[in-house]
Amino acid sequence: MKGKPGLPTTPPAPTYCQSQTAVALTATSSASAVLNWYGINATGGTATSIATVPTTTQAGVINYYVSQSLNGCEGPRAAIAVTVKSTPLAPSVTSPIIACQTRNADALSAIPSSGGTLTWYGTAASGGIPSGSAPTPSTTNLGSITYYVSQSVNGCESPRAALTVTVNAIPAAPTATSATYCENSQAQPLSATGQNLKWYGTSSSGGTASSTPSTPSTTILGTTLYYVSQTVSGCESARAGIPVLVKDTPVAPTTASIDFCQGTSAPTLSATLVTNASANWYGTFANGGTPSNNPPTLSSSTPGTTLYYVSQTLSGCEGPRASLSVRVKALPVAPGVSPVSFCNNSSAQPLTAAGAGLKWYDASDNVLGAAPTPTTSTTGTQTYKVSQTIEGCEGAKATLTVTINAIPAAPTGNSPNAYCEGNTAQPLLASGQNLKWYGTSQTGGSGSSNATVPAHRPLLLEVLLIM
């Protein structure tokens, strides 16, 4: 009886990547034995002497079987486990990539799967020389170039992913118009003509771009450049500088308060301006109003204080308003006077009136020096005028009439009867008006309205009549 041979000897099972070209399996038979290949049939099937070539179309582990026959007797089948590893997907890429002509481009990049390793092939869609280093695209010429990259995971290489790099022209800088402002005025956002504008404030390089237009500061005098670029087809232009001029705003004009008298010719308002500035008169408007180059015309008809306002403009910039106080002083009333009378050829006193800052005039309105002293040499009436001046304003004149009265004749006295010594005398009698009795004083003495009573001695009667 013939015995069955044992299992043929098999090498370690091969491993393939999905879709990789496989080679025929191998096994070693005993001496004089022949191999029987059954493909994937663990039992049954049709044996062949031709070694099985594994299929790699599907990932997984597949057992292939082989036996050996010796002297007509076939032994058991040996399993050869062939592993087919799945092909990884192409690495993740971003495409297209925009590059700008003559500007430095970054090395290309791709994202491999976990544990994957990238392999770059330059512009070769197939074949080519693999490299572990990512290429840096050239930006010399305009147009599009496609680069390729694969990844290897667990020893299996993926299909190549395509990255298209498009080199675009750099656009011209945007166009913009300069702006001019007055110091501390309200500025407006700047504007420029271009696409996808980027504003950089006052940064000529670097800085942080913003899609919001820059609003100039008006606190710093002089010219400041603000920068803006445009981006066309992914390429940013050079920055354009927009000059913004901030001009000095003048201070308020210098003014001085004015006062004048009611009813007099009103003065013209004025203000002191800086060199080359022009005045803006606003009448009595502290705010608002319509400016005028000419000062308002003042009125002296009504007393009181009024504030007027004026500013100045220098190089198109208007400064704050200054106030100017105008006071119309009221005229004082005429001074208080009373008629005065003197006796002919008597000694007259200087005239008086109730008031301040008196000013005396004759009847013809000629100014006199001090208060006049009327002459009494001629009887009749004299006319004088007087005004008073308060705070430099002369008021109306009061008229003062001076009467010079004639001296009356002496009164007529009645000689009394003689009296005996010791007899009671009676008051003396005289004919006249407003009699003044002086007793025995021929001159001097004090007059009395009571008639003199003679004493018991010789008497001299002198009666004066005073009108």
Tens-level pLDDT at each residue, the chain (467 residues): 677 999 999 999 999 999 999 999 999 999 999 999 999 999 999 999 999 999 999 999 999 999 999 999 999 999 999 999 999 999 999 999 999 999 999 999 999 999 999 999 999 999 999 999 999 999 999 999 999 999 999 999 999 999 999 999 999 999 999 999 999 999 999 999 999 999 999 999 999 999 999 999 999 999 999 999 999 999 999 999 999 999 999 999 999 999 999 999 999 999 999 999 999 999 999 999 999 999 999 999 999 999 999 999 999 999 999 999 999 999 999 999 999 999 999 999 999 999 999 999 999 999 998 999 999 999 999 999 999 999 999 999 999 999 999 999 888 877 666 777 777 877 888 888 888 888 888 777 787 888 788 875 544 444 333 33
CATH 2.60.40 residue ranges in the chain? 97-168, 175-247, 258-329
Rounded distance, CA 298 to CA 333, Å? 23
- Are 284 and 308 in contact by the 8 Å Cβ rule? The answer is yes
Rounded distance, CA 104 to CA 101, Å? 8
Tokens standing for 96?
A: 């297209």
- Are 9 and 35 in contact by the 8 Å Cβ rule? The answer is no
Tokens standing for 120?
A: 């770059």
Rounded distance, CA 262 to CA 298, Å? 11
- Give the model's pLDDT for residue 417: 60
Rounded distance, CA 387 to CA 339, Å? 16
Rounded distance, CA 136 to CA 81, Å? 44
Rounded distance, CA 62 to CA 146, Å? 39
Q: Is 10 exposed, middle or buried (0-12, 13-18, 19+ CB in 10 A)?
A: middle
Nearest to 401 by CA among 344, 353, 346, 466: 353
Q: Is 277 exposed, middle or buried (0-12, 13-18, 19+ CB in 10 A)?
A: buried
- Give the model's pLDDT for residue 322: 98
Helix, strand, coil abundance in the chain, percent, nearest 5: 0, 35, 65
Tell which CATH classification among 1.10.260, 1.10.357, 2.60.40, 1.10.287 matches the domain 97-168: 2.60.40
- Give the model's pLDDT for residue 459: 42
Tell which CATH classification among 2.40.128, 1.10.600, 3.40.50, 2.60.40 matches the domain 175-247: 2.60.40
Rounded distance, CA 107 to CA 99, Å? 11
- Give the model's pLDDT for residue 461: 40
Tokens standing for 326?
A: 């105008």
- Which residues are CB-contacts of 71 (< 8 A; sequence separation ≥ 6)? 2, 32
Nearest to 245 by CA among 156, 143, 333, 315: 315
Q: What is the dihedral of CA 449, 450, 455, 461, to 10 degrees?
A: 40
Nearest to 463 by CA among 414, 424, 420: 414
Tell which CATH classification among 1.20.272, 3.30.70, 2.60.40, 2.40.50 matches the domain 258-329: 2.60.40
Tokens standing for 420?
A: 């005996």
Rounded distance, CA 326 to CA 258, Å? 5
- Which residues are CB-contacts of 385 (< 8 A; sequence separation ≥ 6)? 360, 361, 362, 363, 365, 397, 398, 399, 400
Rounded distance, CA 317 to CA 179, Å? 14
